[in-house]
Amino acid sequence: MDERIASPGAGRSVTDAPGPVLAVLRDIHQRHLADTSGTVASYIPELATADPALFGIALATADGHLYEVGDAGHCFTIQSISKPLVYGLALADHGRAFVLSKVGVEPSGEAFNSIIFDERTNRPFNPMVNAGAIATTALIRGDGLAARFGRVRALLSAFAGRELEMDERVFLSERETGHRNRAIAWLERHFGMIDERLDEHLDLYFQQCAVLVTARDLAVMAATLANAGRNPLTGRRVLAPEHVRDVLSVMHSCGMYDYAGEWSFSVGLPAKSGVGGGIIAVLPGQLGIGTFSPPLDDRGNSHRGIRVCEELSDRFDLHVFAVHPPATVIRQQYRDGEGCFRHRRNDSEQAALAGCATAIAVYELQGDLYFATVERLLRAVQAEFPDFAFLILDAHRVGRIDSSARRLLTMLLEMLAAAGKPLLLAGFPEEAVAQLLQPGEAWPADTFFASAETALTWCEDRLIAGGSDG
Ligand code: GLU
């Protein structure tokens, strides 16, 4: 294994040095501490022993910073919060198309233990209700219960960044009393949605639900999703980004049972709750939240957990549909000749360059490159297209370059090449260069330069050589 499993409390916690973020968490925790609404789940007898007073909040940033208050280190069973993560494992095991043939992605508007299936396809509605989760768990590969649970536990541990254990008593308690889930599994067997290892699938499902976590673990799990599947504490990739996208999609539409619509309206974060009292919520690219408070509302969601997430979303403006318009991508734009490099040339070179002062267009870029910012850049380039012979994109201030930006830049390269105008990429981060050099994409040798200056020199050399040729 290529991971460092961190112990609980690993990561850079700032619990002892309160700053504005921790101050807000403490304030929220304090104001909801006395709220005793809700009832601890008791349909799994062992869960009824939970102390209703326990209350913890943790927030982990997508780069691995932890904030925590209250009982954020107290262990409880993950229950349904395992569902989206195990769904990710099923996607990794079988691919999207196959998993979709077994479990839908439609919000059911039903309670978590609903026994209703999609009548047209006989599939459970989605992987977040028990029926869909049992069918998802049935897809987990492995030879026998122990091996399969080993894989599930390894996955959940990698998400949390530490080795997680299972609560044997909660597992056995649900195994003995989970008749409704057993009935769901039999129906799925009847419809041919799960294979004959019905008891094994159910045991695996009950075991995954009985894995012990803390609110801190939940925040790290959520931050791993926020970080596109790479655990920000261990640096380990847990799930591929395309599976994370699918997981977040179902969390967004179905994660909070029959409260999912209202939740996505008011809180606006992909989330999942569990009857153990936990909730995770994810703001993609930014942070993960984990809350723990055992008393549940009548929909099976942690009462105080919901209040906390509502308030955090409100106070930090975390709603995924809060629109952040794209930042300015072109920091400055100039032509060689306006720059300061030509004075290094000797007299005859300067003379050769004098006639073509504006042949080299330089765009200094900043921020992230994705569809909206690259599209703006392309429009600016297109407007100037007739006037330049060389185009230099200077990216030394650029951050992330996504796949859409890479595709558009490749197309720009091809268009310019067809017009006989070289495109030079200067100061692109090494990782971006590696990504741009995807197999099959033929970038000319003279495309990548360490800096705008070396790229300009290359263009000038061509102009000088061209001038003396002619
Ligand atoms: N193990 C629980 C069940 O299947 C999970 C339910 C939940 O957390 O919502 O009933």
Site to substitute for ligand 1 among 83, 130, 180, 254, most atoms within 8 A of C-beta: 130
d(CA 361, ligand 1 centre) in Å: 61
What are the tokens at 185? 């599994």
120 has pLDDT over 50: yes
Please tell me the predicted confidence (pLDDT) of residue 327: 85
For the chain, what is the radius of gyration of the CA atoms? Answer: 27
Site to substitute for ligand 1 among 80, 170, 279, most atoms within 8 A of C-beta: 80
pLDDT band with cut points at 50, 70 and 90 for residue 4: very low
What are the tokens at 300? 């099976």
Kindly give the number of the ligand 1 atom that is closest to the alpha carbon of 210. Answer: 1
pLDDT band with cut points at 50, 70 and 90 for residue 8: very low
d(CA 333, CA 393): 10
Q: Which residue has the higher pLDDT, 10 or 44?
A: 44
Q: Which residue has the higher pLDDT, 18 or 275?
A: 275
| SS3 call for 407 | helix
Residue 405's CB: how many other CB atoms inside 10 A? 24
> What angle is formed at CA 42 by the lines to CA 37 and CA 45, rounded to 5 degrees?
150
Q: Of the candidates 135, 118, 139, which has an alpha carbon nearest to the alpha carbon of residue 127? A: 135
Give the domain 330-464 fold: Transcription Regulator spoIIAA (3.30.750)
Q: Is the CB of 275 under 6 A from ligand 1?
A: yes
Burial pattern 37-70, b for ≥16 Cβ within 10 A else e, equals ebebbeebebbeebebebbbbbbbbbebbbbbbb
H helical segments located in 55-111: 82-94, 96-102
Q: Is the CB of 80 under 6 A from ligand 1?
A: yes
What are the tokens at 418? 């067809």
Please provide the average confidence, as pLDDT, over all residues in the chain.
Answer: 91
Name the residue at shortest CA distance from atom 4 of ligand 1: 130
Average pLDDT over residues 410-429: 93
Give the domain 2-316 fold: Beta-lactamase (3.40.710)
Q: What is the pLDDT of residues 290-333, one digit of tens each?
A: 999 999 999 889 999 999 999 999 999 999 999 988 889 999 99
Query: Which residues 6+ apart lie within 8 Å of 323 measured at CB?
Result: none
d(CA 263, CA 297): 14
105 has pLDDT over 60: yes
The overall longest dimension of the chain from CA atoms, in Å, is 91
Q: Of the candidates 217, 218, 222, 248, which has an alpha carbon nearest to the alpha carbon of residue 61? A: 222
Kindly give the number of the ligand 1 atom that is closest to the alpha carbon of 80. Answer: 8
Burial of 17 (0-12, 13-18, 19+ CB in 10 A): exposed
Average pLDDT over residues 385-405: 93
Average pLDDT over residues 331-338: 83
| SS3 call for 367 | strand
74 has pLDDT over 60: yes
Residue 233's CB: how many other CB atoms inside 10 A? 24
Query: Which residues 6+ apart lie within 8 Å of 78 measured at CB?
Result: 156, 208, 209, 210, 211, 212, 213, 218, 274, 276, 278
Please tell me the predicted confidence (pLDDT) of residue 257: 80
d(CA 374, ligand 1 centre) in Å: 45
Q: Domain-by-domain residue ranges, the chain?
A: 2-316, 330-464
